A = this chain, B = another copy of it.
Amino acid sequence: MKIETRKQQIINAAATLFKEKGYSAVTMRDIAKSMGIKASSLYNHISSKQDILTTIIISLAEEFTNGMDVIKTSQIDSIEKLKQIISLHISITTSNTFGMSSLNSDWMHLEERLDYYLKLRDDYEENFRCIIINGIKNKEIIDVNPEVMLFSILSTLRSLYLWIPKKEDLKQEELVENLSQVLISGVQK
């Protein structure tokens, strides 16, 4: 029983290249070369280039959906839910910075599964929005345009993949703490 299937190795190699140059600029020959084999050999393990991208993106999107499902139904206050969301993003991103690049930048190249992806993303955003709006109702969160808050926090969380690899010295829990403070309490003294 192998720890990592050949297919998974291909997907990891591909994700690494996708992060560097984007899905469209990476050729099957590039992926093969990075593994020391020929492009045609890839097709023993995957069915198409599309298949690679779809696998990368959908599996990550579903991780986020599952994480959000837990958070939204848990009995904690709104601010705590925000912290859990921050923690979810840091956790998923830390364990797959390359895949997160495709999720953020190459989703438009999904074909059959594009609609499914968009539904997952919309639902995720809607759940996030509800948490914020509930926080405003409860007087836990300031009464500012919730769209601005949603966008601001989510933009930072979605960009983590660009930044986490460059700051490997920063421990995960420490990052959760610091980022929660900045996103929730701001930067002003």
Contact = CB atoms under 8 A, between A and B. Distances in A.
Interface of A: 20-25, 79, 82, 105-106, 108-109, 132, 135, 139-142, 144-145, 147-149, 151-153, 155-156, 158-160, 162-163, 167, 170, 175, 178-179, 181-189
Contacts of A140: 188-189
Copies in the complex: 2
B188 A144 contact: no
Given A108-B21, A145-B170, A189-B141, A152 B184 contact: no
Contacts of A175: 148
6 contacts: A21-B108, A142-B181, A145-B178, A151-B163, A155-B156, A155-B160
Given A21-B24, A22-B22, A151-B156, A184 B188 contact: yes
A156 B152 contact: yes
Given A21-B24, A108-B20, A142 B184 contact: no
